[in-house]
A and B are shown apart, each in its own frame.
Chain A
Amino acid sequence: MEVDWQDWRDGRKDVTIEVCEQIPVTHCASTVTNDIKMNDTPDAPAVEIEHLTKLFRIPSLRKQTVLAVNDLSLTVGRGEVYGLIGPNGSGKSTTMKVLLGLLHATSGKCSIFGRDSSQVDSRKDVGFLPENPYFYKHLTASETLEFYGRVCGLTKAERRDQNARLLKLVDLEHAKDRRLAGYSKGMLQRIGLAQALVQNPRLVVLDEPTAGVDPSGSRQIRDLILELKEQGISIILSSHLLEQVQEVCDRVGIIYKGDLVREGRLEDLISIEDQTEIILKNASAALLEKVRALAMGESTEVISIGRPRTTLERLFLEETQ
């Protein structure tokens, strides 16, 4: 459905009426035997956050606290791309850090593939790209991937293969022997992405992957995310570029001042319930008049009947004001 809509926007003329429910990837994931992961629950979703609350204590004389995340629950199914959006300071990064065990939850719990995220082994299958990443400036791109590969316990041959493959994937082969100190923002973001993928994780957490990246680089990163999605990798990402979120995400959560104010499948969120959209091809002005009267004419090919969409941007502004 998403694809049809996309094609229509791109100016394709003849589009079929097919409006079938897309089968979410999550459903196939649980039906098949899980043969390579031993100690995880086969049906557990990629990410499960239950009633997460995070309170920061501010060191000062008066015991001040900041409520960064408030009773947030969300689930990311296997193979799903989940977008977390919200204004600055709404708690997106905090949620991700708790999920990765970098911060301790004040209450509530998070799990990754059924394993509690306070345990180290839950991180075995996760790749993380922090916001505004900086890596060790003294290392080159190859050395960076080599280092993270070692830390993840890859063998020498695996590291070599992954190194070559990932550098190619993020298009940094030409700069692989340069130290990261001389990398531009977009290049750092890309090596960050490569680093997140080094152990072939099944879940990738991306905190603003396209922040500060130029439009074409940003497009490359979007394509990469779509590619990962094709491979069945679960992704949770936060971004301020709503158009991109709309393009890549299956589900979206809008977070505002620590609360998850809206959540759901993207199609559901941005469809307007009480309106219907009719798209006509080769319609004359007179016909349009008739259609307006009759709502449907016989010589007219109905190209699409469905719910018109608002944009995610409009929804975002509505929910966070």
Chain B
Amino acid sequence: MNDDDHETPDQKRTGYSGAALATESQPHSIFSPSRIWALTMHTFTQMVRMRVFYFLLFFSAGIILVAFMFLRFTPEQELKLLKDVSLGAMSLFAGIFAIAGTALLIPKDLEDRTLYTILCKPVPRFEYLLGKLLGMLVLIFVSMLFMDALFCTVVGVRQKILEKEVAVAYDQELAKYPEREQNESWKEQREEALSAITENGLRWDLQAAVWAIFLKASVMTAVTLLVSTFATTTLFTIISSIAVFIIGHGQHLGRSYFLSGAPDGGLERALAGALAVIFPDFHLYDIVDAVVSGETIATTLLLQMSGMTCLYLLIYTAAASFVFSNKEL
């Protein structure tokens, strides 16, 4: 030891590391958005580098195939089919990302001991979970943005083509029978045919359906994250989350069954209540069919959906951080 007696270890250390780090003098903050953001972007990068976006190629190939291969229907049917298949595929992909992707996160960190290296830094456990959740949400959001853009382009292009085809057909008819220029009902028929296409084509309500799909996937992400905090295997997490997904779709039926069967039965009421508390009610998000058949979606419904989603995320994430903060790693 060749140093002066009155030099503290701290001072010596500072000498070795150049300047003292800014964090050293700051008291530790219990909640740090920048830390959460670092974890979020890390999770996102991790998923991206796991090549999850390659799955989107299947989606793209699928809807392009549907859009331009099956041309045996009426224009409206064709557009409906396209929307139905595309939204269904989006729902499927978002669901797969939400369940399979999220289920992998914590077990992988545990197995690789990367969890240790993060949690032994001054990172509260709920921030770690929040980072994982937000990372997955960003991932799902970005992939839905991509799918949505492709979907709208395909629907738009298909709509334009169909409109042109119909217009050309009517024009040809007019060329053959010029007297129809004066026929009011013929003109009406032509207008109707064209507006049917417009109605079933690109409309803002499609975005409402996409938003609903995203919200549903967010809830599934939170559910899966919760399950993965206490599950011991990834397979268990995936299967349980799929079960929750299915129950979530049927829970309004179950609830009405329990409630209608015996209006004053305490047990039934309790069961219905428990069902509603534990499982998310995905019936709320069922607007895809309405959108496909061209109905308009009320803004209040969207707000209600978004609000419920926030509530679900809050509840499931709170439960997850409760379980996780007591977990032995």
Q: Does A130 contact B (CB under 8 A)?
A: yes
Known pairs A135-B112, A199-B21; A151 contacts B123 (CB<8 A): yes
| B-chain residues with CB within 8 Å of residue A299 when the two chains form the complex | none
| A-chain residues with CB within 8 Å of residue B326 when the two chains form the complex | 104
Q: Does B329 contact A (CB under 8 A)?
A: yes
Give A283 to B305 CA distance when docked, in angstroms: 94
Contact B13 A233 (CB under 8 A): yes
Contact A154 B112 (CB under 8 A): no
Q: Which of B9, B22, B120 contacts A128 (CB 8 A)?
A: B120
Contact B35 A37 (CB under 8 A): no
Q: Does B328 contact A (CB under 8 A)?
A: yes
Give A200 to B121 CA distance when docked, in angstroms: 12
B23-40 vs A, CB cutoff 8 Å, 1 = contact: the mask equals: 111111110101100110
Q: Does B117 contact A (CB under 8 A)?
A: yes
Q: Which of A152, A202, A232 contacts B122 (CB 8 A)?
A: A152
Q: Which of A130, A148, A154 contacts B116 (CB 8 A)?
A: A130
Give A124 to B35 CA distance when docked, in angstroms: 13
Q: Which of B45-53, B154-162, B205-213 contacts A (4 or more CB under 8 A)?
A: B45-53
Contact A120 B30 (CB under 8 A): yes
Residue of A with least CB distance to B12: A232
Residue of B with least CB distance to A144: B117
Q: Which of A147, A205, A232 contacts B13 (CB 8 A)?
A: A232
Q: Tell me which residues from 104 to 157 in chain A have a Cβ below 8 Å from any Cβ of chain B.
A: 104, 120-121, 123-124, 126-128, 130, 132-139, 147-148, 150-155
Give A151 to B39 CA distance when docked, in angstroms: 7
Residue of A22, A205, A230, A231 with most chain B CB atoms under a 10 A cut-off = A231
Contact B10 A232 (CB under 8 A): yes
Q: Which of A38, A102, A120, A231 contacts B9 (CB 8 A)?
A: A231
Give A31 to B10 CA distance when docked, in angstroms: 12
Contact B21 A154 (CB under 8 A): yes
Residue of B with least CB distance to A152: B121
Residue of B with least CB distance to A153: B23
Q: Which of B12, B27, B29 contacts A230 (CB 8 A)?
A: B12
Contact B21 A202 (CB under 8 A): no
Give A153 to B10 CA distance when docked, in angstroms: 20
| A-chain residues with CB within 8 Å of residue B168 when the two chains form the complex | none
Q: Does A295 contact B (CB under 8 A)?
A: no
Q: How far is the CB of B321 from chain A (nearest CB, A)?
A: 13
Interface residue count on the A side (C-beta < 8 Å): 62
Q: How far is the CB of B329 from chain A (nearest CB, A)?
A: 5
Give A121 to B45 CA distance when docked, in angstroms: 27
Contact A155 B1 (CB under 8 A): no
Residue of A with least CB distance to B123: A151
| A-chain residues with CB within 8 Å of residue B20 when the two chains form the complex | 36, 200
Give A227 to B5 CA distance when docked, in angstroms: 18
Q: Does B8 contact A (CB under 8 A)?
A: yes
Q: Does A158 contact B (CB under 8 A)?
A: yes
Q: Does A34 contact B (CB under 8 A)?
A: yes
Give A205 to B42 CA distance when docked, in angstroms: 25
A62-79 vs B, CB cutoff 8 Å, 1 = contact: the mask equals: 000000000000000011
Interface residue count on the B side (C-beta < 8 Å): 52
Residue of A with least CB distance to B28: A121
Give A227 to B12 CA distance when docked, in angstroms: 11
| B-chain residues with CB within 8 Å of residue A154 when the two chains form the complex | 21-23
Residue of B with least CB distance to A150: B38
Q: Does A29 contact B (CB under 8 A)?
A: yes
**Main SS at interface, chain A:** loop
Q: Which of B12, B17, B24, B34 contacts A150 (CB 8 A)?
A: B34
Contact A134 B34 (CB under 8 A): no
Q: Does A275 contact B (CB under 8 A)?
A: no
Residue of B23, B39, B123 with most chain A CB atoms under a 10 A cut-off = B23
| A-chain residues with CB within 8 Å of residue B12 when the two chains form the complex | 230-232
| B-chain residues with CB within 8 Å of residue A38 when the two chains form the complex | 25, 27
Contact A138 B45 (CB under 8 A): yes
Known pairs A101-B119, A123-B121, A202-B13; A34 contacts B8 (CB<8 A): yes
Q: Tell me which residues from 297 to 329 in chain B have a Cβ below 8 Å from any Cβ of chain A.
A: 326, 328-329
Q: Which of B19, B23, B114 contacts A152 (CB 8 A)?
A: B23
Q: Does A165 contact B (CB under 8 A)?
A: yes
| A-chain residues with CB within 8 Å of residue B19 when the two chains form the complex | 161
Q: Does A195 contact B (CB under 8 A)?
A: yes
Residue of B with least CB distance to A59: B232
Give A230 to B23 CA distance when docked, in angstroms: 23
Known pairs A154-B22, A154-B23, A165-B18; A135 contacts B9 (CB<8 A): no
Known pairs A232-B8, A232-B10; A158 contacts B22 (CB<8 A): yes
Residue of B with least CB distance to A119: B28
Q: Does A97 contact B (CB under 8 A)?
A: yes
Residue of A with least CB distance to B50: A138
Q: How far is the CB of A69 from chain B (nearest CB, A)?
A: 13
Known pairs A136-B46, A150-B38; A37 contacts B27 (CB<8 A): no
Q: How far is the CB of B96 from chain A (nearest CB, A)?
A: 20
Give A154 to B34 CA distance when docked, in angstroms: 10
Contact A34 B10 (CB under 8 A): yes
Residue of A31, A97, A196, A232 with most chain B CB atoms under a 10 A cut-off = A232
Q: Which of B5, B17, B329 contacts A165 (CB 8 A)?
A: B17
Q: Does A60 contact B (CB under 8 A)?
A: no
Contacts beyond the supplied A138-B50, A196-B117, A233-B9: 14 A-B pairs with Cβ under 8 Å = A97-B329, A103-B328, A104-B328, A121-B122, A123-B123, A128-B120, A148-B121, A150-B34, A192-B117, A200-B13, A231-B9, A231-B16, A232-B11, A232-B13
| In the complex, the 3 A-B pairs of residues with the closest C-beta atoms, listed nearest first | A232-B9, A150-B38, A121-B28
14 CB < 8 A contacts A-B: A29-B8, A120-B30, A130-B120, A133-B117, A136-B114, A153-B34, A153-B122, A158-B22, A161-B18, A162-B21, A200-B17, A200-B21, A202-B9, A231-B15
Chain B residues in the interface with A (C-beta under 8 A)? 1, 5-30, 32, 34-35, 38-39, 42, 45-46, 49-50, 112-114, 116-124, 326, 328-329
